[in-house]
Amino acid sequence: MLKFFIGRLVQMVILFVVFLSIVWLLLQLMPGDISDTLIGNPDIPMSVRLELKARLGLDQPLLQQYITYITNFFFRFDMGVSFSRFPKDVSAVLLEALPRTLVLFLSSTLFAFWLGFKTGKLIAWRRGGRSEQFLIVSGVFLQTVFYPWFAIVMLWLFGFVFGWFPIGRFITAELWLGAPFEANDIFGRLIWTVVIASVAYGIARIVIGRVAKDLVTRERLAMLLGLLVVAAVVGYWAVNPAAKFAWDIVHHTILPVITLGLVAFGAIMLLTRASMLETLGEDYILTARAKGLPDNVIRDRHAARNAMLPVATSLVLALSFVIGGGIVTETIFSWPGMGLLFLQAINVSDIPLAVGALAITGVLALVGHLVADVLYAVLDPRIRIA
Amino acid sequence: MTLSQLSLEARQVDPSLPLLEVDQLVMHYKIKAGSVSAVDNVTFTLHQGEAIGLVGESGCGKTSVALSLLRLLPQNAQHISGEIRLNGENLLWLSAEEMRQRRWKDIAMVFQGAMNSWNPVYRVGDQIREALDTHYRGVMTYAEQRAHMEKLFAAVGLPADMLDRYPHEFSGGMRQRAVIAMALSCGPQLIIADEPTTALDVIVQDQILKELKRIQADLGMSIVYISHDIAVIAEVTDSLGVMYAGNLVEYGPTADVFARPRHPYAYLLLRSTPSITGPRRKLAPLQGEPPDLLNPPTGCRFHPRCPFATERCAVENPPLEDIGGGHKVACWHWDQVPELEGLQR
Amino acid sequence: MTTTKDQGADHGAATGAVAAGSPASDAFAHQPLWKVRLALWRRSLGKTWGLFRENKMGMFGLGLILLFACMAIAHPILMATVWDPKIYDPVTGYSAVELQFVIVEGEPTDPSTQISLQEARLRLNPTVKVGQTVTIPVQPAPPSLKGPNPHLLGTDPQGRDILSQLLYSTRAAFFLGAVAALTTVLIATTVGSIAAYFGGFIDGSLMRLSDLILLMPLLPVLILVSALFEINMVMLGLMIGVLGGFGGVAIVLKAQALSVKVKSYIDAARVAGGTHWHIVLRHIIPNVLPLSFLYMMFGVTEAIAIEATLSFFGLLNVPMTWGIMINTAQNNGYLLSGTSYWWLLFPAGLAVTFLCFGFFLVGRGMDEVINPRLRAR
């Protein structure tokens, strides 16, 4: 299995180089030249222009430029200098925005998968009835809804009409005025606590798996552990002096995450339902029933566990949606992540920044594919042991 | 329930005591187009330690009978009338929860297509353990469960370390052996084997059947075999029932039914099967198609295909009557059915 | 070009192959082949339609699509008969709707009938007083049924008729959806069938290409491309079609083609001396086509959503689409206007949603026809 992953990894790196080359090629095909955009800027004095041209390597032959671009990306994580945020490096600008986007992507994907899988499982198990009809129609609606419009309506409804959530942005500026903390620091600490808690939970799950042999005890312990971890994270932040500020960030995060997650939720729910219906027709479900297992055990441990396999593969499909939807979400919610950065860069023709954002997005997509592969292998022993 | 009953030792059997009595069972499937009469008036009795077989072509209701013994029929199945008694207790009157507790502990099942009766994502041992956990919670320790499962695997001729393997690592025959081990795990009095060997090659088929027969004798169990292949079943059963279009048309000691079929369908069915050891005879395929069970034929359901049919057959459904020696036939003209030997050429 | 004609006949052959086993096909024995094919094709179409008709949601989707089709047809007719182009043109029209307001002190409680003193002085003249009723031209104007130029769905912030924009954009959406979906299916069917049938190097390279396209985040790439180049509807449609056709859909259709390839009638065709191209064109592609049509429906949905998103960002070089309507509302500060200016956001947003909804439902309905397992008993 290790061999399979190394092969897959190599394949993906090659794909990524090709992807980067295509993006680079697109730039060359653009009417005019990058240097025109840059050097045409009258704000920059002549001496700086010439220096810049040499520094950016635009006076060199195309092939040389290409090789420089690729090697710089891979070995120095250098994607050039942003035009609009001159003289900041593209990588520095992107790295600042990356965590926010990652949080948005990850939490909405997790939210969508968790809720979508649960609902899809239940409506497939209890087939028929109005609730199933209603959920299917809403699922299809969410899957086909015009996303920018949906985000606007969500923002208007929950931010403006109900006033439950702030209207866009990452923080409330007035609250942070003169605050003893940096927003990015608090955000980073929030991320770290969640990451540490998740890792701790994962390790504890493995330990439980080794110690508790009985499946029922194992599941109960895991649930208890989950509650404990959540309580620990919440408790840590509740007594923290920065609690107010942390809550402000979280408060701003909830609505965009739910909005983006809801749309992916529809697709995941429908897929889980279809997959679950297929699984329920399998012979081993009949065996499980004949064994006299209680209904919820048949549903969760036998049917849902297998129905999860195609759903895990759909992570890749969800990914492309989440990336596209992320740009829209960040625009409408004024969420200062990579998507917003990308669009702003496009609007002011800051090509290096736009390309950089696209390249990072490509990396994200790649990692997502790899995660889906690993997940599938973990879930399916037929792939794991072969 | 104590541990001793789970041990793999012979149960005390009294062949005169009935274990399972199926009494005038009638069962329908509801579909969009109407009601399919899948099982119609089926009656038979299985005694302790006995093995019986139900044969018939596909769609004749034999699997429906098997599934109704465990009450595992699909949602659209309707039980119309009749009783299924296990040790005198009517299973059809039990609540869903009571029935769930009976499954596997009292009646276990070996399904057709062992390939798919294992959940691909769990180890075989864990899937057997799951049954023990459900029916003997707190009775056995983890180590005792393991020891029990190793004994079961030994009984069906599988090495103990295979317990830690996943189903896809087993060959077809091994998987079927493991299925039998799982069926034995909770110490059932009765095993229903639904086409236990259909997907296997002939040699493995023979091994598995012998294994089953030996285990049945060793443990004093009762088995209901379900198959479309009358020859396979004849080797391992004491009694044989022939089903046609939801009816049990002939029932009796296997040797009797096999040698002197009295129902025209059973007769024609056997005549269409070649025999290697018996006398050489001309094979005669059965004419016509099985009836549409949405609108079953009036009277005897076999009469449209029956060479001996008279007007009475189209009007009156013949009852299953004893014609001597426990051999029962549901036919008005059973005495007109020729001897199989008479076909010798 | 004979290819399109060929494919029409191929589809007939496919359904013919399916129906050939039935005894009724003997009745055609003495007719010319094309007539037999046509008859069989019609019969299988009728059967498919019968199955599809049982799917209520699919029929609802079809109804939605037909409704939108009527809207698309209605626009040129209305422009030619009832609507004055100067006022009702979706892009260049202008209509100043004059409304009556009562001047109030401070913030108006009902902005549709009241106006604050400050704003009235700013827009009319400094002499107006509180309590006075004044007539002010407004844009965006709320829906009106009366007057010389009724605007059933009001006007946009630039005084253009919303209904006219809505109807006009329907045609663009259909056009784009058709271009994108046809391109997708044409490419994906060919690629999938060829990759499955020939295998080896051809298969490998085509599938690596699919991997690459799947890896590319579609929307960001299209955003970059439309920012760098001037993109119109046809180009966008072709681009979505090519990316979709070589990407995910090709993989799905290849899997289908593989399952066809192992069927014994392919061996039979090969033994009978059929060339590779004959087998691919006459046997593999026709049997992949039902699934292709299914993906065409989903393709339309995706293309319309992408186009609307890109024009929502104002990146497309097109005069008017649903996305542009929302973009106009957003640019003029009506992003959170919600129900008080509902005609700015809701008609366009719901139009995109429901057209996609319609195509998606039809796709689901077709899925149930193709996969009997999904059908309810």
DSSP string, A171-191: S-HHHHTT-SS-HHHHHHHHH
Per CB-CB distance under 8 Å, the chain C contacts of A281 are 373
Minimum Cα–Cα distance from A126: chain B residue: B75
Asked whether the predicted pLDDT for residue B253 surpasses 80, the reply is: yes
What is the identity of the amino acid at A132? E
Minimum Cα–Cα distance from B194: chain A residue: A287
pLDDT of residue A220: 84
What DSSP assignment string belongs to C58-106? HHHHHHHHHHHHHHHHHHHHHHHHT--HHHH-TTT----EEEEEEEESS
Give the CB-side neighbour count of residue C251, counting CA atoms within 13 A: 12
Angle between helices A315-332 and A147-154 (to 10 degrees): 60
Per CB-CB distance under 8 Å, the chain A contacts of C326 are 148-149, 152
Average pLDDT of chain A?
A: 84
Q: Judge contact between A342 and C220, C-beta under 8 A.
A: yes
Asked whether the predicted pLDDT for residue C375 surpasses 80, the reply is: no
Return d(Cα B284, Cα B269) in angstroms, integer. Answer: 9
Q: Judge contact between B243 and B61, C-beta under 8 A.
A: yes
Nearest chain C CA: its distance from A286 CA (Å): 17
A291/B134 CB distance under 8 A: yes
A274/C374 CB distance under 8 A: yes
What SS3 state is found at B314? helix
DSSP state of C161: B
Return d(Cα B200, Cα B81) in angstroms, integer. Answer: 36
Give the list of residues 6+ apart from residue A368 with CB closer than 8 angstroms, or none: A315, A316, A319
> Among A28-42, B18-32, B281-295, C330-344, where is mean pLDDT lowest?
A28-42
Residue the block writes with tokens 């046509």 = C38
Would residue C67 count as lying in a domain? yes
Would residue C319 count as lying in a domain? yes
Q: Phi and psi dihedrals of B236, rounded to 5?
A: -115, 0
pLDDT of residue B3: 42
Q: Judge contact between C196 and C254, C-beta under 8 A.
A: yes
pLDDT of residue A56: 64
For C193-217, what is the mean pLDDT?
86
Minimum Cα–Cα distance from B111: chain A residue: A287
For C4-29, what is the mean pLDDT?
44
For A310-327, what is the mean pLDDT?
83
| Of the candidates A316, A358, A364, the residue with the CA atom closest to the CA atom of residue C210 | A316
Return d(Cα A239, Cα A220) in angstroms, integer. Answer: 29
- Burial of residue C133, with CB atoms counted within 10 A of its CB: 0-12 exposed, 13-18 middle, 19 or more buried: exposed
Q: Which H or E element spans position B224?
A: strand B222-227
Q: Of C321 and C85, which is predicted with more confidence?
A: C321
Would residue C39 count as lying in a domain? yes
> Among A122-126, B136-140, B164-168, C295-299, where is mean pLDDT lowest?
B136-140
Q: Encoding tokens for residue C271?
A: 């033994």
Q: Phi and psi dihedrals of B284, rounded to 5?
A: -125, 110
Asked whether the predicted pLDDT for residue A39 surpasses 60, the reply is: no
Q: Judge contact between B228 and B195, C-beta under 8 A.
A: yes
Q: Judge contact between A292 and B100, C-beta under 8 A.
A: yes
- Residue B261, preceding bond cis, omega within 30 degrees? no
Q: Judge contact between B163 and B125, C-beta under 8 A.
A: yes
Per CB-CB distance under 8 Å, the chain C contacts of A143 are 360
One domain for residues C169 and C272: yes
- Among A144, A278, A358, whose Cβ lies nearest the Cβ of C224? A358
Would residue C47 count as lying in a domain? yes
Check if B32 contacts C (Cβ < 8 Å): yes
Residues 134 through 173 of chain A touching chain C, CB cutoff 8 Å: 136-137, 140-141, 143-150, 152-153, 155-157, 159-161, 167
Domain count, chain C: 3
Model confidence, pTM: 0.84
Return the bridge partners of A81, or none: A89
For B201-208, what is the mean pLDDT?
84
CB atoms under 10 Å from CB of C178, counted, come to 16
Would residue C376 count as lying in a domain? no
pLDDT of residue C332: 84
Q: How many interface pairs between A and C have CB atoms less than 8 angstroms apart?
A: 144
Q: Encoding tokens for residue B261?
A: 């079929």
Q: Of C21 and B135, which is predicted with more confidence?
A: B135
Q: Among residues of chain A, what percentage have pLDDT more than 70?
A: 91
pLDDT digits (tens, 9 = 90+) for A68-101: 878 887 777 777 777 777 777 888 888 888 888 9
One domain for residues C278 and C293: yes
First to last CA, chain C: 45
Asked whether the predicted pLDDT for residue C27 surpasses 70, the reply is: no
Return d(Cα C219, Cα B35) in angstroms, integer. Answer: 53
- Among A214, A290, A306, whose Cβ lies nearest the Cβ of B121? A306
Average pLDDT of chain C?
A: 82
pLDDT digits (tens, 9 = 90+) for C319-374: 889 999 988 888 888 877 777 788 888 899 999 999 999 999 999 888 888 876 66
A152/C308 CB distance under 8 A: no
Q: Of C276 and B199, which is predicted with more confidence?
A: C276
For B18-37, what is the mean pLDDT?
87
The edge-to-edge listing of strands for the beta sheet with C97-104 is C114-116, C97-104, C133-138
Return d(Cα A35, Cα A28) in angstroms, integer. Answer: 11
A288/B119 CB distance under 8 A: yes
One domain for residues C331 and C240: yes
Residue the block writes with tokens 């499982």 = A121
Q: Which H or E element spans position B43?
A: strand B34-47
Per CB-CB distance under 8 Å, the chain C contacts of B32 are 377
Asked whether the predicted pLDDT for residue C126 surpasses 50, the reply is: yes
Give alpha helix (H) positions in C144-284.
162-198, 200-215, 218-228, 233-246, 248-261, 264-271, 276-279
Q: Phi and psi dihedrals of B250, rounded to 5?
A: -155, 140
Q: Which H or E element spans position C371?
A: none
pLDDT digits (tens, 9 = 90+) for C218-243: 888 898 888 888 888 899 999 999 99
One domain for residues C216 and C114: no
Return d(Cα B168, Cα A132) in angstroms, integer. Answer: 35
Q: How sure is the predictor about C56, in pLDDT bands with cuts at 50, 70 and 90?
A: confident
Return d(Cα A102, Cα A144) in angstroms, integer. Answer: 24
Return d(Cα B67, Cα B226) in angstroms, integer. Answer: 11
A320/C305 CB distance under 8 A: no
Measured in whole angstroms, how far is the alpha carbon of residue A372 from the centre of its chain?
13
Max mean pLDDT among A2-11, C199-208, C350-359 falls in C350-359
| Of the candidates B194, B179, B221, B243, the residue with the CA atom closest to the CA atom of residue B46 | B221
pLDDT of residue A259: 93
DSSP state of B103: B
pLDDT of residue C108: 76
One domain for residues C300 and C337: yes
Per CB-CB distance under 8 Å, the chain B contacts of C377 are 31-32, 76
Return d(Cα C69, Cα C337) in angstroms, integer. Answer: 30
One domain for residues C179 and C286: yes
Going by DSSP bridges, is the β-strand pair B222-227/B51-55 parallel, antiparallel, or unpaired? parallel
Give the list of residues 6+ apart from residue B144 with CB closer than 8 angstroms, or none: B3
C323/A148 CB distance under 8 A: yes
Q: Among residues of chain A, what percentage have pLDDT more than 90?
A: 19
One domain for residues C218 and C352: yes
Per CB-CB distance under 8 Å, the chain A contacts of B105 are 292
Give the list of residues 6+ apart from residue A326 with CB closer than 8 angstroms, or none: A101, A104, A105, A260, A337, A338, A339
* C206: containing domain: 56-74+162-370
Q: Of A209 and C189, which is predicted with more confidence?
A: C189
Give the list of residues 6+ apart from residue B298 with CB closer than 8 angstroms, or none: B314, B315
Q: How sure is the predictor about C11, in pLDDT bands with cuts at 50, 70 and 90?
A: very low
pLDDT of residue C377: 43
Return d(Cα C266, Cα C279) in angstroms, integer. Answer: 7
B111/A287 CB distance under 8 A: yes
One domain for residues C18 and C132: no
Would residue C366 count as lying in a domain? yes
Asked whether the predicted pLDDT for residue A282 surpasses 70, the reply is: yes
Give alpha helix (H) positions in B138-201.
142-155, 172-184
One domain for residues C38 and C63: no
- Among A26, A156, A343, whose Cβ lies nearest the Cβ of C228? A26
pLDDT of residue C238: 93
What SS3 state is found at B247? strand
pLDDT digits (tens, 9 = 90+) for A219-254: 788 889 989 999 998 998 888 888 888 888 888 889
Q: How sure is the predictor about C9, in pLDDT bands with cuts at 50, 70 and 90?
A: very low
CB atoms under 10 Å from CB of B283, counted, come to 10
Q: How sure is the predictor about A135, in pLDDT bands with cuts at 50, 70 and 90?
A: very high
pLDDT of residue C180: 93
Asked whether the predicted pLDDT for residue C4 surpasses 70, the reply is: no
**Touching subunits for chain A (3+ Cβ pairs under 8 A):** B, C
Q: Of A287 and A375, which is predicted with more confidence?
A: A287
Per CB-CB distance under 8 Å, the chain B contacts of A378 are none
Return d(Cα B317, Cα B300) in angstroms, integer. Answer: 4
Would residue C219 count as lying in a domain? yes
B119/A284 CB distance under 8 A: yes
CA angle A44, A45, A46 (to 5 degrees): 120
Q: How sure is the predictor about B224, in pLDDT bands with cuts at 50, 70 and 90?
A: very high
Give the length of chain C: 377
What is the identity of the amino acid at A309? L
Q: How sure is the predictor about C17, in pLDDT bands with cuts at 50, 70 and 90?
A: very low
Going by DSSP bridges, is the β-strand pair B107-110/B190-194 parallel, antiparallel, or unpaired? parallel
Residues of C within an 8 Å Cβ radius of B: 377
What SS3 state is found at B291? coil
- Among B131, B166, B168, whose Cβ lies nearest the Cβ of A291? B131
pLDDT of residue C71: 92
pLDDT digits (tens, 9 = 90+) for A334-367: 888 899 999 988 888 777 788 888 888 888 888 8
**Touching subunits for chain C (3+ Cβ pairs under 8 A):** A, B
pLDDT of residue C173: 92
Interface mutation vs chain C, best among A146, A158, A255, most C CBs within 10 Å: A146
Q: How sure is the predictor about A30, in pLDDT bands with cuts at 50, 70 and 90?
A: low
One domain for residues C32 and C63: no
Give the list of residues 6+ apart from residue A367 with CB closer than 8 angstroms, or none: none
One domain for residues C64 and C34: no
One domain for residues C225 and C269: yes
pLDDT digits (tens, 9 = 90+) for B49-65: 889 999 888 878 888 88
Q: How sure is the predictor about B198, in pLDDT bands with cuts at 50, 70 and 90?
A: confident
Residues 313 through 332 of chain A touching chain C, CB cutoff 8 Å: 316-317, 320, 323-324, 327-328, 331-332
Check if A385 contacts B (Cβ < 8 Å): yes
Please report, for the domain that includes residue C315, its CATH number: 1.10.3720.10
Would residue C85 count as lying in a domain? no
